[in-house]
Chains A and B, each alone.
Chain A
Amino acid sequence: MNWLIAILQTILFVALSPLLAGWVKCCKCWLQNRKAPSIFQPYRDLLKLTYKQPVVSEQASWLFIKAPYVIFSATVLAATVVPLIAVDLPTSASADVIVMVGFFAFARFFLALAGLDIGTAFGGMGSSREMTISSLAEPAMLMAIFTLTMTASTTNLSLAIAHVLNEGLILRPSFVFALSALILVAVAETGRIPVDNPSTHLELTMIHEAMILEYSGRHLALIEWASQLKLMLYGVLIANIFFPWGIAQSFNPQDLAYGLMAIMAKLAVLAIVLAISETLVAKMRLFRVQEYLSFAYLLGLLGMLSHIILEASR
């Protein structure tokens, strides 16, 4: 049963992620006084891409062609770890939150390699920037997450969320820091404004898009899907760690449905917040990103220290 739920929610994750992306886009359009595309537009794009014949550069090696699958699988695996609608997942035990971060790193590793494979200036530029940003973001993220795991004294996400849930509403200063850090990291890692702009193809500013410039057809679909999945993953992490209420603690259909509703609502709200912030904030210069991420890192560290000093002191 546990395994079934775990698989089910992974499928849900994969299935719902384009929807979230579509929702964010809609919100942004509305905020910017544009006519919004359908909320299901991402599904259509993905479907269309899968039917197109992929065009691959003559310079590409096997790595370029295999990379989308690796990236997608790694992201899906990361998704299996994160409780979406219910806690007590066996998958969370087989891979804890550090492994999840590892999967992100895995996907990124191959994405960056794929960017370098063709040997264009764009690809290299994208990879270089992506690795720079992620190497600053990853420790910040780990710091934020460690605050949680130390509070719950487990790195198992299911158990940690259950712990937060069972504790009831406790205002923890460390969580405030951790939340802010995680949000900042999420923005950077998913390539949103102000760090990257998912809809730009202007060479000087792009990061993520630069790496996947050479992809087309089903490969592009996989990568796009993976990045939508990643966006959702971060959303769910933020939502379920810091606002876990509503998540199902037992596996009866009612609770699960309730959990699904809760997470969708939370994600919808988060998406709106994201859209608003993306509308209000302008993109930063690349070399200001370090300050941004150092700030996130600092917040994460502060969260951890405040947990250790204020909350768990003896």
Chain B
Amino acid sequence: MILILAYSAVILSFASGLLALVMNQRLFLLDWFEKSSADNERLASCLGEKQFSSLVQKAVFMLLGLSGVFAVLAGLSVLISQGVVTDQLSLGLPWLPWHVRFDCLSGFFFLIVGIAVSAVSLYGPGYVKSYTDSQHPFAVLGLFTGLFVSGMLLVLLADDAFFFMIAWELMSVASYFLVAFQHEHAANRRAAFIYLLMAEVGALAIILGFGVLASFSEGFTFDALRQVQLSANWASIAFVLALLGFGMKAGIVPVHVWLPEAHPVAPSHISALMSGVMLKVALYGLIRFCFDLLGEVHWQWGVVLLILGTISALGGILYAMMQPNLKRLLAYSSVENIGIIFMVLGLAMIFMANGHPQLAALGFLAALLHAFNHALFKNLLFLGAGMIHHQTHQLNIDLMGGLIRKMPKTSVLFLIGCMSISSLPLFNGFVSEWLAFQTALQVDVLDNGVLRSLIPVAAASLALTAALAAACFVKVFGMIFLGQSRSHHCDNAREIQDKGMLAGSGLLAGLCFLFGIFPGLIINLINKVSGQLLGASLPNDAALGWLWLAPVSANQASYAPPLVLTGALIAGCISFWYLRRNPATVIRHAETWDCGFGGLTPKMQYSCSAFTMPFRRIFNKVWIIDERIDKDLRGAMNQDVAAVHYHLEVNDHSWPLLYEPIERGVNTTATIVGRIQTGNIRTYLGYSFATLILMLWVIS
């Protein structure tokens, strides 16, 4: 029954992809229709050019939405029943059919995918209206969206290495096509190439990781791999490979570079899925590999995860802060959030390896909860970015401003996203961050001195990350929605009219708030995951009743968001009511104070780069900053300054340090190896001759 739900989710998403192909067949259908029966008026009217495309788009997204709903249902039902279902599909290799296994961990990630996909499919029809021409064929978009989603779902279902890799690569390749969808810009093509290349390299690392396990076992089913008893060294090699592979997909620094390139160039609802969900699937892979397949974890792995996570979190948010492109910024912020998740997962590993499964469950909970939350708010933000782009046709934050008055609904939704991602209390982001801190604070139970001093430092970095994230999203919201408009595009922007787009984002915003207030709803589900996977759940998850969140014990820490919300409402109402009492209630509107000089223009506002200038000064080693001021000089002696241009470019260190050397290395090697092919046939004969002699010599 549960499996049927899961399968239907996969099949529906697949079907939605196939249905999108119909888009190109309108004339064919028209033809066929005329031939068969010409009397049905309504059907014929559907085949009008406009109606047909909107009909197909709606149908495609409806199927996709249904698939999302089924995924949610499947996830919920397996989580609630806490069961494990397995199956075999008669596909794959003759001696290795595709094995399917659906357990709580998969179920939880099904939930994430399902929610995100449902929101996206509400949002989609409004967003893709413009993609009907041959320039951007909807057929391609729809097909690969469907494949992408089904790929992600299949990854979660896979129970053997072979099937896993197929699903994994299906996900990668389908999303590659989506990234390359708007391929007329060279930057997009480059992004797509980098994306696919890194996806491939990552996949190879994963294969190798599986290979290490498989070479010690009889088969490649996960069941067989679970049985493998590896020596510590081999296990560590497998772990490093898996970390490299899954980390590449998840976007861990320094293998994150594809992420800020690829996410911004895909259509926004796809960016939302990629950033919000696909990264989580990578996380799923890592968890499955480390906690499930490898079984016994080592604390050193935890330390690696912790350190990498910390670097990613800090690096991600610092890079995010400097981006003027909204979607690039959001992509970098995904790096940050994944970093946080990895950190906490590292903590869980450390606790697990040191024999504190309950605390490990706490860390695991924090990690999964943050993954869940990140899926919600990052999706919301990407969808918001899509709405902004839809209305203003740009993504450069420096050219926006004042949209809160033009797009009030969007602004509220986006604000909720910003608050969640800045982990402010009452929103979901805070809960997971709170749990992360709680996990880190349990360091006292550990014996190892290194860990005892390392974890607090990591916690401090987490605090710094959170604070920087708040700064970053103040910048984002402030620059986009507040102040005055900085370009005529923004002047002309209007509120989104499409209800679906608002509903899709609204759903996510509502969930952000809901799970901020009632985190217990989701925490209970995650607890079942850790119960099944780690064999331990939270020590005391319901110490004080359902309103309360007291993960370890009520004496150690507790948080009751509903009460806090009530308090906030009371305080707010009292102050509001009290002050309203006054005679001078009517607000007088006046010009902004301009220090008496007159003529405030939007150009005088703080810009994005101005806002982040203090950070640039403070953390200037983190980026490669290219900042210069060009003056247009005129006049006889070149003394009159006609115009001043400020130029700022902030770049990632990982390019010159890691990637460019590799690229150069490959090219140089190719040049050197190319020299063997001189074009002279006598040389070639010489090779043949030499090879023969050499071989004969070797043999004898």
Contacts and interface: CB of A to CB of B under 8 A. Distances in A.
Q: Do A and B bind each other?
A: yes
B452 interface: yes
Main secondary structure of the interface of B (DSSP, over half): helix
B507 interface: no
Contact of A214 (B588, B592, B606): B592
Interface residues of A, number: 88
B557 A72 contact: no
A176 interface: no
Interface in B471-497: 471, 474-475, 477-479, 481-484
A274 B142 CA distance: 64
Nearest to B469: A135
Nearest to B473: A109
Interface string B388-406: 0000000000000110110
Contacts of A105: 422-424, 466-467, 470
B374 to A, nearest CB: 18
Nearest to A79: B571
Interface stretch (B173-181, B295-303, B344-352, B574-582): B574-582
B559 interface: yes
Given A57-B593, A124-B606, A124-B610, 19 more contacts: A52-B584, A70-B572, A72-B575, A73-B575, A93-B560, A94-B564, A95-B559, A98-B434, A98-B557, A99-B434, A99-B559, A102-B434, A105-B470, A109-B419, A109-B422, A119-B484, A120-B600, A132-B618, A313-B452
Contact of A124 (B463, B467, B483, B555): B483
B618 A290 contact: yes
Contacts of B438: 98, 155
A91 B419 CA distance: 23
B481 to A, nearest CB: 8
A120 B478 contact: no
B563 interface: yes
Given A73-B572, A99-B434, A127-B606, A112 B583 contact: no
B233 interface: no
A63 interface: yes
Contacts of B639: none
B471 A132 contact: yes
B600 to A, nearest CB: 6
Main secondary structure of the interface of A (DSSP, over half): helix
B559 A222 contact: no
Contacts of B460: 139, 142-143, 297, 300-301, 304
B592 A118 contact: yes
Interface stretch (B81-89, B357-365, B443-451): B443-451
Interface string A79-120: 010000000000101111011001101101100110111111
B567 A118 contact: no
B590 A312 contact: no
A113 B612 contact: no
A301 B456 contact: yes
A156 interface: yes
Interface string B3-46: 00000000000000000000000000000000000000000000
B670 interface: no
B197 interface: no
17 contacts: A52-B584, A61-B405, A63-B404, A73-B571, A77-B567, A91-B563, A93-B560, A99-B425, A120-B593, A124-B610, A127-B474, A131-B611, A138-B463, A146-B456, A217-B584, A218-B579, A222-B575
Contacts of A113: 474, 477-478, 482
Pick the 5 closest A-B CB pairs, nearest first: A124-B606, A119-B483, A116-B478, A135-B467, A139-B463
Interface string B609-625: 01111110110000000
A139 B572 CA distance: 28
Contacts of B477: 113
B467 A146 contact: no
Contact of A135 (B470, B558, B592): B470
Interface in A137-194: 137-139, 142-143, 146, 149-150, 153-156, 159
A280 interface: no
B20 to A, nearest CB: 40
- Most chain A Cβ neighbours within 10 Å, of B456, B556, B604: B456
A273 interface: no
Contacts of A154: 555-557
Nearest to B456: A304
Given A95-B425, A153-B556, A143 B463 contact: yes
A104 to B, nearest CB: 10
A288 to B, nearest CB: 11
A109 B424 contact: yes
Nearest to A112: B474
Nearest to A103: B425
A61 B404 contact: yes
B239 interface: no
A136 interface: yes
Contacts of A146: 437, 441, 456, 459
B339 to A, nearest CB: 15
A95 B560 contact: yes
A55 interface: yes
A93 B567 CA distance: 13
Contact of A156 (B483, B557, B588, B600): B557
B693 interface: no
B148 interface: no
B440 to A, nearest CB: 8
A116 B425 contact: no
Contact of B564 (A53, A69, A95, A217): A95
Nearest to A61: B404
A149 B463 CA distance: 15
Contacts of A116: 474, 478-479, 482-483, 606
Nearest to B401: A119
A50 interface: yes
Contacts of A138: 463-464, 466-467
Given A124-B483, A132-B615, A155 B441 contact: yes
B563 A94 contact: yes
A100 to B, nearest CB: 9
Nearest to B563: A94
A56 B584 CA distance: 13
Contact of A69 (B453, B576, B594): B576
Contacts of A297: 460
B588 A53 contact: yes
Given A109-B424, A139-B467, A128 B614 contact: yes
B591 interface: yes
Contacts of B447: 314
Interface in A32-55: 50-55
B661 interface: no
